[in-house]
Amino acid sequence: MSVYARFGVATVINAAGTVTRLSGGQMHPEVLAAMRDAAGACVDMVALQGGASRVIARVTGAEAGIVTGGASAALLLGAAACLAGLDPARMNRLPEVPDGRNEFIIVRSQRNMYDRALSVAGGRIVEVGIADRYSGSGVRDAAPWEIEAAITPRTAAICYLAQAQSRPSLAEVASVAHAHAIPVLVDAAAQLPPKDNLRRFLAEGADLVAFSGGKAIGGPQASGLLAGRADLVASALMQMLDLDLFADTWNPPDEFARLRQLRGLPQHGIGRSCKVGKEEIVGLLVALERFVAMDDDARQANWRGILQAIVAAANGTSLQLTIVDRPMPLLEVRAPDATALAARLAAHDAPIHCSLGRREENVLVISPSALTAAQGAVIGAALRAI
């Protein structure tokens, strides 16, 4: 009996991708073994984050990095770092910002549900630009000068959503921000692969970048990483830690030496609920090392092979199956009624969950990122039977 069966929970075949609502993907045995090993001993969590910083800095080129409880937690902590810096008094006041320096400038077309993390930390979102190219009424979006015009003494940071269609470019935004000594916080939660993106956004001028650990990296679902400027990463860490200790016993590792210069220890920070366990930290680090060691082309070929197995097993179905690259290979299943097809797949003996993001086009989308080849064969047989 599996542990899920023990608690009366059915397992599913996750063909929707590494989404949180379906518990993410399946971790490699090496990652699972590392997490079991980590669970069997106790460590100083600041020292462990110091070790994490060394690994993250090596693979991203950042000055420092920490493991967080997911990409959203990384955004919240990054926002808190931009709001408070290394001032423990400001940390204590969050989400209140008495001097009003709490504004995060965001291009209107880059707004998304996850930027609520900025508001939770104490930020106030200021939108710029006009999303005509999204509404279909024109070609305009935001321009660098509009971002610059929105900068005031109340500006804490500029938040940027890293996507291929985002405008202006990150380099242009960073140039404007740094001319005014304003940091740039980048949401790159799902921007892997390619693995070069681990370095790209920092190289283009980002001061902080948030990635998900439970998606393509293959780490624990409740993990993420925040990488960037050492002072901001140290502030983010400080606002997540358990600080129930005497100040004279506080001795952070060299990776966070700036924290030794604080005028005192703050209270538990705004990001205390974003804490991450030793098991998740170790699991993410092992997964991260595996991710950067694997060739992007080999990863793509493996995913495409899973989709090809689905197509082969579905041989004879009247459904239209098409493999596309966006940039991850995906399988589009065109049906007379995508919603009805999704319901029948979910009612399968082994419940199969696909993405309904394009159901208005009567297209189901199957992602290979959380699938095994054996599960691909099951999906293909189910499509053929239906």
108 and 169 part of one domain: yes
Per-residue pLDDT tens for 202-222? Answer: 999 999 999 999 999 999 999
The verdict on 149 and 270 lying in the same domain is yes
- Residues 273-283: b if buried by 16+ CB within 10 A, e if exposed: ebebbbbbbbb
Beta bridge partners of 320: 334
Are 307 and 289 part of one and the same domain?
no
Does 188 share its domain with 239?
yes
* Residue 380 near residue 309, CB atoms below 8 Å: yes
Verify that 12 and 136 share a domain, yes or no. Answer: no
Contact between 307 and 371 under an 8 Å Cβ cutoff? The reply is: no
SS3 271: coil
Same domain membership, residue 230 and residue 118: yes
- Give the model confidence (pLDDT) of 262-301 as tens digits: 999 999 999 999 999 999 999 999 999 999 999 999 999 9
Q: Please say which residue of 236, 269, 293 terminates a domain.
A: 293
* Average of per-residue pLDDT values in the chain: 96
Per the CB < 8 A criterion, the answer to whether 256 and 23 are in contact is: no
- The kind and range of the H/E element at 330 are strand 329-334
Residue pair 218/31 in contact by the 8 Å Cβ criterion: yes
Pair (87, 102) in one structural domain: yes
* Residue 304, domain CATH: 3.90.1150.180
DSSP symbol at 152: -
Identify whether residues 186 and 166 lie together within a single domain. yes
**Burial class of 356 by CB neighbour count within 10 A (0 to 12, 13 to 18, 19+):** middle
Question: What domain range includes position 324?
Answer: 3-22+295-385
Question: Is 203 within the bounds of a domain?
Answer: yes
In a domain, residue 31? The reply is: no
Give the end of a domain, one of 293, 323, 338.
293
Statement: the pTM of the whole predicted model exceeds 0.85: yes
Q: Is the pLDDT of residue 374 over 90?
A: yes
Q: In sequence order, what are the residues at sequence separation of 6 or more whose Cβ sits closer than 8 angstroms to the Cβ of residue 206?
A: 160, 170, 174, 184, 185, 186, 228
pLDDT, position 326: 79
- The reply to whether 343 falls in a domain is yes
Check whether residue 245 and residue 278 sit in a common domain. Answer: yes
Residue 74 and residue 190 in one domain = yes
Q: Into how many domains does the chain fold?
A: 2
pLDDT classification of 135: cutoffs 50, 70, 90:
confident
Predicted pLDDT of residue 134: 86
The CB density around residue 114, as the number of other CB atoms within 10 Å, is 15
211 plus 331 within the same structural domain:
no
Q: Which residue has the tokens 């129930």?
A: 244
Q: Is residue 104 part of a domain?
A: yes
* pLDDT tens figures, 44-100: 999 999 999 999 999 999 999 999 999 999 999 999 999 999 999 999 999 999 999
56 in a structural domain:
yes
